[in-house]
Each structure stands twice: as C-alpha cells, then as structure tokens.
Amino acid sequence: MTGFYARWGMVGALGLLLVFLTYQDYQTRLSTIPLSGIMSGNTPKEPIRIQGMVKSGTLAGKVEQGEATFEFTEGTVTIPVEYHGPPPENLRELKVMVLKGRWDAEAYVFKAQDTALVNNYGYVAAAYGVSCLTIVLMLFAMSQRVMVLFKEIKESKLYEPEVDSLAKKQ
C-alpha cells in the first residue's frame, strides 16, 4: 500500500523534475526578450533572442552571403539590425522571425549572428502536457483501484474458496 504510493510519488516527482528542467532549458536557450526590454540598458552580455518582423522596404545588403541590414519591428518599437552570419534561409521583408545576437547600446544597433523560426513551443507543450497528464491520471486511477480491490478481496477473507466460480461461469 505504502509501496504503491511511494512508487507513484516517485513518478510524480520525476515528472515535475523533468518539467522543471525543460522549463529552465527553454528559458536559457529559446525564450525571446521583448524589443522594448533591451532598450532599458540592463541587457545581458551574452547573446539574446528577440522576436519581431522585418520592416518592409528596409532590407539591404547581400542576403545570400549572410550580410544584411534592416529594421526590425515589434509593436511600436523599431530597431536597426546588422546581420552578419551564416546565409539565412528565410530572411525576407515582412517576415516574422527570431534573431540571435547582441544589443550594442552605444552604436544603437542590434548585431545579429543567426536567425531562427518563431518558436511556438506553447502548442508543443500543450499537446504533450494534455497527453501525458490524461494518460498518467487514468493509469494512476486504475492502478490504485486494482490495489484497493486486491486488498479488499483479501480482507473480506473470500479470497481462496470458489475462486474459479467466475471463470467457470459458462
């Protein structure tokens, strides 16, 4: 009985740990900072990720060779960007995308090194979360029921005799 709950407690704890680790990983690797946030001055030194749209009519430079300048906008905020990195696959005007790079506050320009697709991990998390949670809940309910039933049958001392009465029903 206690063993059962201990086992499921461990499963739960493990699940929570995994969720926590995934969230940490997401925060450091994948989450984006709002454009208005990076202007406030206290931006971190390491590369950050920003999301926005390439403003129409501003894209210039040799995009195929990985050199480009353009303006990047999100809501009311617009910042200039210098791109210098591997040839981007989907850098186009009016494209909503994610840039990786550093904010150079003195030059008032965002030095981008890489591009990425807009991450929509919300959907992924929802899909996995719904599936895992429902399955685990159902499994827990069933297993607990089985355990309680075994216990009840044993305790009612009806365990041994006429055990095959159901099997021989036909």
Partner 1 sequence: MNRFIRYIQRYKGWFGGAAAICLLVGLYTGLLVSPPDYYQGEVVRIMYVHVPLAHTSLLAYSILFGGSIWFLWKRDPLVDNMCQAASSITALFTGLALVTGSIWAKPTWNTWWTWDPRLVSFAVLLLILAGYMMLRRLVDDPDKQGIYAAVLAIVGGVDLPIIKFSVEWWRTLHQPMSISTRGISISDDLLLPLTFMSLGCWLLFAYMLMVRTQMLYLIELLQAKKGRLLSQTHFSQSAQ
| Site residues (vs partner 1, CB under 8 A) | 22, 89, 117-121, 123-124, 126-128, 130-131, 134-135, 138-139, 142-143, 145-146, 149-150, 152-153, 156, 158-159, 162-167, 169-170
Whole-angstrom CA distances from 119 to 13, 50, 129 are 28, 11, 17
- Between residues 108 and 150, which has the closer beta carbon with respect to partner 1? 150
Closest CA to 38 of 68, 67, 81, 69: 81
Distance of closest approach, residue 51 Cβ to partner 1, in angstroms: 12
> Cα-Cα-Cα-Cα dihedral of 46, 99, 20, 128, to 10°?
-170
Distance of closest approach, residue 114 Cβ to partner 1, in angstroms: 14
Distance of closest approach, residue 27 Cβ to partner 1, in angstroms: 15
% helix, strand, coil for the chain, step of 5: 40, 25, 35
- Between residues 106 and 164, which has the closer beta carbon with respect to partner 1? 164
